[in-house]
Structure 1
Amino acid sequence: MKLFVTSLVWLFLFGSHSAFAESIRAGYFPFWATYSQSYHVTDIPAERLTHVIYAYANITEQGEVALGDKYADVDRIYENDSPLGGKRGSYNQLRQMQKAYPHIKTFIAIGGWSYSKYFANAARDPDTFARSAANFVREHGFNGIELDWRSPVMKHRGQPANWQQREQYFTLIKATRAALLALTKETGQEYGLSVTLSADDQMMEHWPLPEMQLYVDFISLLSIDFHGSWNDKTGHYVPLNAPAGELSVGAAITRFNALGGQSDKLVLMIASQGTSWQGVSSPGVGQPTKGVPLGSWDNEQTGASGVFSQQDIQRFTKDPSWQQGFDSKSKTAWLYHPEQQIWLSYDSPQGIDAKLNFAQQQRLAGTALWTLPGDASGSGSVLLQIHQFDAPWQSIWIDSRQWLIAGFISLAILLSLLMAYRKFKPAKQEAPISLPDLVSLIEQGAHNHQDVPEPMQQMVQKLQSWQQQALAIESNTEPARDILPVWQQSRSVEALHQELVSWFSRQPGVKSASVYQGDRQLAASDDPQHGEDSQSIQLLLDDLDACVLQLQVSPEHNHEGHYRQLTDQLGQCRQYLMQLCRQPQLLGELHAIAQSKDKLRYIKAERGYSGLYLDGQAEPSYILLRLTGIKLYFDNQTLLQVHRSWLVNPNRVVCLEKLQKGKWQLRLDCGDVVPVSKSYLQWIQELFPQWWSQSA
C-alpha cells in the first residue's frame, strides 16, 4: 500500500506544471475568433500552454490603450456572467481560466496591423501610454503586455527609415516596464512584458535589439505571412530555409543573433494556417496567379484572403482530388487542386517538426502558436505536436491521466477487496483467494458467488458500478441517443441548428436537412430540384427567429407514424431553444439595444449575427440575437422591419426613395441608405406616409 501511495503522489507531481521548468508555449487568441470562428476562451487547451496572448487592444489618437472590440472583450455575456453589469466578455473568461489553471499567464497584445495607427503618437509621449497600459492591465486582470507595433522605424521593406522612432520605441519599452514595476509594488503581483519583431532583415536591423531585450521577458518573432495575397506569384507561407535574399525562418534567426539578439529571449511563432492562390496552372513556387480564393473565414463582405485553417487543410489532405507534396529544402508542404487550379502552402507535421528541432538547436525561449482558433483538434493539432516535442512526458500525462488514475483507483479497490476478503473469510477456508482469482470473480459477477462474504459482495458491486461509469466516460463510441442531450451541450443558436441538421440527416428516409430563416406561414411543398422520388417537408423550428427546418424525404417514408418520432424530437428542441433565449445573454443584448437606441441607425443581419450600426462607431457592434427575435421586444416606432435583413430606426429616416427596376430604399439623416423589400412597402407607406411625401 505504501508503494501505491508513493507512486500516486509521484504521478501527480509528474503531471503538475510546477514540477519542471518549461519553455514558453504561447498561444494567440484574436478577439474576432468569437465572431467568425465561433471560438471562445473556454475552447482554449490551457493545459498545454504557458501563456495566452489576447489580440488586440487598440491605441487612441491621444496615445492611450483602449479596448480593441468592446462587445467581444467586455460586453458579451457568457454562462455565469451578470446580465446587469459587472465583469463579462472574453476578458472575464480569461480570469476564470486562470482560476482553473493558475500556471497560465495572460498577456494583452497592443497594436497589430489594424491597431498600430497611433503607436507613433504613443511613442512621442511614452509616460502617458505606459500609465494607461498599466491601468488597463490592472483593470482587466492581465498578467502582462505585448507591444506589437507594425512596425517602427520602417513599416515596409524598401521604405525610408524613420530613425527617430528607434529611440522613441526604446523609450516606450522602458516606460512600459517601469509602469509595470510600479504596478507590482501596488498589487504584489509580477507582470511580464514582451514585444514582437519583424522577421524581415531589412526592418529588423533598424530596431534597438541589444537595448530593448534588457527590459522584456521575451521577443516573439513574426514568422508568419512570408507570402500571401499581396504576391502575384506563389510562394511558401513560412519556409524554414530559402534562397539568399528571400524571407525564411532560418535567415531571420541568424540575422537576429548577428544584431546582438539573445536566442534565449526569442520565441518562434508557428502558424496553424496556410495561404493559397487561384489560377495556378501547375504546382510549385514562383507560379503566376490570378488572385486568391475565399479562405476558411472569408465571405463576400470581408473579401478573399486565401488563408485556410489547419482544420480545412487536414480535410483537403484526405481528399484524393488534391495533389500533395513536400519541399525538402524549405521544409514546407503544399497542396494543389488541378481542376480548381488552387495551390496552397502550409506547415505539415514534418515541417513543424523541422522548425521545432531548429528552435531547439538555436536554444530559443520557446514557441507561440498563431492562432489557437485556426488549429485542428485531436491528433492533428499543431499545439499538441508542439507540446509533445517540448514536454513529452507532461503531454503523455495529460493524454493518459484519466486512464492512469482509473487504473490506480481500480488497483486500490482490488487491494481493499482482497484485505476485506481475508478479514471476513470463513474460518474453515485453508487459503485466501488470490488476486487473479478475485479479478476473475469480479468479471464473472462476484456479487452472485456463494463463497464471497456479504461485506465483500457490496464492495464488489461498488467496484463494478465504478467500472461501468469509468467506461462510459472514457468510451470513444457514442451510444444511440436522441437529439436533446446533444443540443444541451451547445452554447449558441447556430450550434444548435447545426446539431439539428446533422441529427435529422441521419434519420431513415431523410435525404437532406437544412435550416433557414423563413416566413411564419409555412406549408409542405414539392421541390422539383430533388426529382419525383422526394418530397419537401417544412417545419417551424423557432418561433423567436422564424427558423425553418426543411427535410427532403422519400415518399415511402412520408407517413404519420414515421415522423411522429421526429416531430416529438423537434418539440424537445424548441423547448430547449426557448430556454436558451431566456438566458442572461438575451437580456444583456436587449439592454444594449435599448441603451443605444438614440445613436442607433439600423440593425443588419450578418452571417448568423446582428450588427448594430451606431453613430460614432466605424464598425458595427455584433450580438447573437437575430432580427425577428429583436423585433418581438420593440415596437414599430423604435425599430421598423423594412427588409428580411434590416431593421431601421424610424426616427433617423428622411424619406422613401424609388429606384430603377421597381426597387425602393430609405435614406437616413446620416446619409446611409437602407433597402426596402416590396413585401414591406405598402405597410411602410401606411405607417409613415410622410416619408412618401418627402420624397416626392
Structure 2
Amino acid sequence: MSRFRRSAALAAASLILTATVTGTGEAATPASPPPVSGPVIGAYYAGGNSAEYPVARIPADTITHLFYAFSTIEQGKCVVQPGAAADFAALAELKREHPKLRTLISIGGWGAGGFSDAALTTESRRQLASSCIDLFFGQYRGSFDGIDLDWEFPVYGGPSEITDRPADRRNMTLLSQEFRGQLDRLGRQCDARFLLTAALPAGRLQTDGPYDPAKSFDLRALGRVLDFVNLMTYDMGTGFSTVATFNAPLREVAQDPLGQPMRRWNNVLGAVEYYRQHGVPADRLVLGVPFYGRGFQVRQAGQDNGLYQPYERTFDVGGWRNIQALLKDPAWQQHWHPVARSPWLYNAAERRFASFENPESIGIRARTAERNGLLGAFMWELSQDDAEHSLLTAMSAPFRG
C-alpha cells in the first residue's frame, strides 16, 4: 500500500480519537506510560540539512531514538516543509534496515509559533493532536514511532513575536494529555506502542530576562504524561547573558556573576536536580549535550582569557567541525575549567571567546547521566559532529556497556 494513503485501521482509529471524550467535554486523563526500557541514545536531526547530511548517513547502529526537526503549526494543525516527504520515505527505509531504531517527529522549535492558540481549548487541542496523528501515522505511515513536543515556551521566555498566555502552563499539560490519549488509542488499534516526549528548557536567561521552567511547565504533571523528557541542558550562556560564559557548564561556578537563585540551577547538574525536585523522576530524564559552540566578542580579556567578561556582540561559532578548524589555528588558545568541566577558546588579537564541548567534556556529562540514573543522553544536532562521529561516540559510550 502506498505510504501516502492511510489504512482502514488507521482511518477507523482516527474516528475513535475524535469521539472519545468525557462527559465534561475534556479528554480523559490518560494513565502514566510504562517506563521506557533504556538507555536512550538520542539525536536531533535537522531536516533542512538533508541535502548536506542525508538520512542514509544517520548512524542508526549507535543511536536508539531519532528526533526529526521540525514540524510546525499553521492554523491549528501540523504542517511540514516542502521536501520533507522525501526525508520521511528515507526514514521509513532506515527503520526497515534498523528495526530497533525509534523515530519521532519533533513539533515546534525556537521561533515556531502556533502552540498557544492550538492549546487554548478542548477542541483546538483535539484538532492539533488529530491533525498530527493523521499526518505522521496516516499519510506518512511507517516513518515515525512517536511525537516530540518542543514548545519554546509557554507563558513567557520565548521570542517576542510568538503569542503566549498565562494559561499556557495548564494548557501545555492538557495538550500533552490529549496527545497521550490519542497516541495510546491509536496504538491499541494498530497493536503498537507510540511514544510521547518533550524537549524542556534548562537555561535561566531567556527573552524576558530571568527564567524559571516551572512557571512555564507543570513539570510534575508532565513527568507522569510523557515517556521521557529531553532536558535541554545547554543554552545556559547565550545572547541573553550579560557576560561571556559557558554554554553548558557541568556545575555552578562561584566566579560566575549570574545572581542567585538562577546561578544554582543554570548548569547541567543543577538543572537535573531542579527537575527532580519538581517531580520528574531521574529515569524519565534524558540529558542534553550541545554539538555546537557559542561566541562572544568581549570588551577585554580580563583575568581569565575572556571568561565572565562583558561583551559587545555575539557571533556564530558553528558545530564541532567548525570548532576543530579553530583548534588548529594558533590564534585561538584552548583553556579548561575544572569546575564547569568545559573547554573554551580565546583569540586575544580579536578579543573573541568561544564556548564549546569536546569529546572529553561530553563524555563526562554522559557518564554523569548514567551514574545518576538518568535514562540516557541526546544531542542537538547530529550533522554538527565530524565524519568520525567523535562527539556521538563519547556521548553514547557510557550507555553501550
Match of 2:310 among 262, 268, 288: 288
Equivalent residue in structure 2 for 1:113, among 110, 114, 124 = 110
1:639-674 alpha-carbon deviations (Å, 9 max, x no partner): xxxxxxxxxxxxxxxxxxxxxxxxxxxxxxxxxxxx
Aligned twin of 1:70: 82
Cα separation, 1, equivalents of 2:191 and 2:148:
20
* DSSP 3-state at the match of 1:168: helix
Cα deviation code 1:107-138 (max 9, x no counterpart): 000011122x1101111221111111211221
Q: Which of 390, 394, 397 is the equivalent residue of 1:381?
A: 390
Contact conserved, 2:154 with 2:172, CA < 8 A, in 1?
A: yes
CA distance in 1, matches of 2:199, 2:106: 9
Q: SS of the counterpart of 1:241?
A: coil
Indicate how the Cα distance of structure 1 residues 310 and 270 shifts in structure 2: closer, same or farther if over 3 A, else same: same
* Amino acid corresponding to residue 345 of structure 1 in structure 2: S
SS in 1 for 2:106: strand
**How do 1:121-140 residues align onto structure 2 when only pairs under 5 Å count?**
121-124=117-120, 125-138=124-137, 139-140=139-140
**Match for residue 149 of structure 1 among 137, 140, 151:** 151
Provide the C-alpha distance between the structure 2 equivalents of 1:174 and 1:381, rounded to a whole number of angstroms: 38
The secondary structure found in structure 2 opposite 1:102 is coil
1:203 aligns with 2:202: no
Match of 2:167 among 161, 164, 167: 164
Deviation of 1:337 after TM superposition, in Å, equals: 1.7
Among 166, 185, 188, the residue aligned to 1:185: 188
Q: In structure 2, the residue corresponding to 1:275 is in which secondary structure?
A: strand
1:517 corresponds to which residue? none
In the other structure, the counterpart of 1:45 is 59
Residues 203 and 234 in structure 2, CA contact (< 8 A), matched pair in contact too: no
SS across alignment from 2:354: strand
State the one-letter code of the partner of 1:111: G
Letter in 2 for 1:208: D
CA separation in 1, counterparts of 2:73 and 2:189? Answer: 25
In structure 1, C-alpha distance between the alignment counterparts of 2:360 and 2:39, rounded to whole Å: 21
1:184 deviates by 1.4
CA apart distance, 1:200? 4.1
Greater relative CO (CA pairs within 8 A, separation 6+):
2
**d(CA) in 2 for partners of 1:103 and 1:205?**
34
Displacement, 1:198? Answer: 1.3
8 A Cα contact 2:170 2:218, kept in partner = yes
Cα distance between partner residues in 1 of 2:299 and 2:54? 36
Contact 1:280 1:342 in 2 (8 A): no
382-391 or 347-356, which deviates more: 347-356
SS at match of 2:111: helix
Q: Match of 2:68?
A: 54
Assess if the C-alpha contact under 8 Å between 1:137 and 1:143 holds in 2.
Answer: no
The C-alpha deviation readout for 1:243-290, integer Å capped at 9, x for no partner, is 452211111111111111111001111111111123553223222323
| TM-score, normalisation: structure 2 | 0.79
Aligned to 2:272: 253
Structure 2 CA distance for aligned equivalents of residues 129 and 235 of structure 1: 39
CA distance in 2, matches of 1:241, 1:284: 19
Q: Is the 8 A contact 2:177 2:225 kept in 1?
A: yes
User: What is the TM-score of this pair, normalised by structure 1?
Assistant: 0.46
Give the whole-Å Cα distance in 2 for the aligned partners of 1:166 and 1:368: 25
Secondary structure, counterpart of 1:150 in structure 2:
coil
- 1:242 equivalent to 2:239? Answer no
Deviations 1:77-118 (A, max 9, x none): xxxxxxxxxxxx111111111011111111000011122x11
> What is the aligned partner in structure 1 of residue 283 from structure 2?
264
- Cα contact 2:370–2:398 (8 A) shared by 1: no
Matches within 5 A, 1:661-676: none
Residue 306 of structure 2 aligns to a residue whose secondary structure is coil
**Separation (CA, whole Å) in 2 of partners of 1:154 and 1:281:** 33
Q: 1:348 to 1:280 in 2, by over 3 A?
A: farther
Question: Any unmatched runs of 5+ in structure 2?
Answer: 1-36, 205-210, 254-259
Q: Distance in 2 between matches of 1:92 and 1:190?
A: 21
Partner Cα separation in structure 2 for residue 156 and residue 133 of structure 1: 23
Shift of 1:155: 2.7
Q: Distance in 2 between matches of 1:290 and 1:155?
A: 23
Is the partner of 1:190 in helix, strand or coil?
A: coil
Q: Cα distance, 1:181 vs. partner? A: 1.5
Q: What is the deviation of 1:357? A: 2.5
What stretches of structure 1 move > 4 A for 4+ residues in a row?
none
Q: Is the 8 A contact 1:133 1:176 kept in 2?
A: no
SS where residue 96 of structure 2 aligns?
Answer: helix
- 2:356, 2:307 → 1: CA distance? 13
Q: Compared with structure 1, are the counterparts of its residues 156 and 119 closer, same or farther at alpha carbon in structure 2 (3 Å cutoff)?
A: closer
**Which of 100, 108, 125 is the aligned partner of 1:103?**
100
Q: CA deviation at 1:216?
A: 1.2
Matched, 1:27 2:49: no
Alignment match, 2:336: 326
SS of 1:352's partner is: helix
Q: Give 2:29's aligned residue.
A: none
Supply the distance in 1 between the matched residues of 2:221 and 2:348 (Cα, whole angstroms). Answer: 51
- How many residue pairs match? The answer is 336
Letter of the 1:25 counterpart? I
2:73 partner letter? I
In 2: Cα distance, 1:371 partner to 1:317 partner:
20
Q: Give, in whole Å, the separation in 2 of the partners of 1:253 and 1:232.
A: 24
Please identify which structure carries the higher helix content: 1
Q: Is the 8 A contact 1:334 1:343 kept in 2?
A: yes
Task: Identify which of 312, 325, 328 aligns with 1:315.
Answer: 325
Equivalent in the alignment of 1:390: 399
Structure with higher Rg: it is: 1
* 1:144-543 superposed matches below 5 A: 144-155=146-157, 162-200=165-203, 202-206=211-215, 207-231=217-241, 233-243=243-253, 244=260, 245-246=262-263, 247-282=266-301, 283-293=305-315, 306-378=316-388, 381-392=390-401
Q: Distance in 2 between matches of 1:96 and 1:349?
A: 30
Cα 1:145–1:197 shift into 2, 3 Å: same
Contact 1:275/1:346 (8 A) holds in 2: yes
User: Could you tell me how far apart the structure 2 residues matched to 1:33 and 1:211 are?
Assistant: 35
Q: Which whole-Å CA distance do the structure 2 matches of 1:42 and 1:330 have between them?
A: 36
Q: Which runs of 5+ in 1 are unaligned?
A: 1-20, 75-88, 294-305, 393-696
Quick one: percent identity of the two aligned structures? Answer: 25
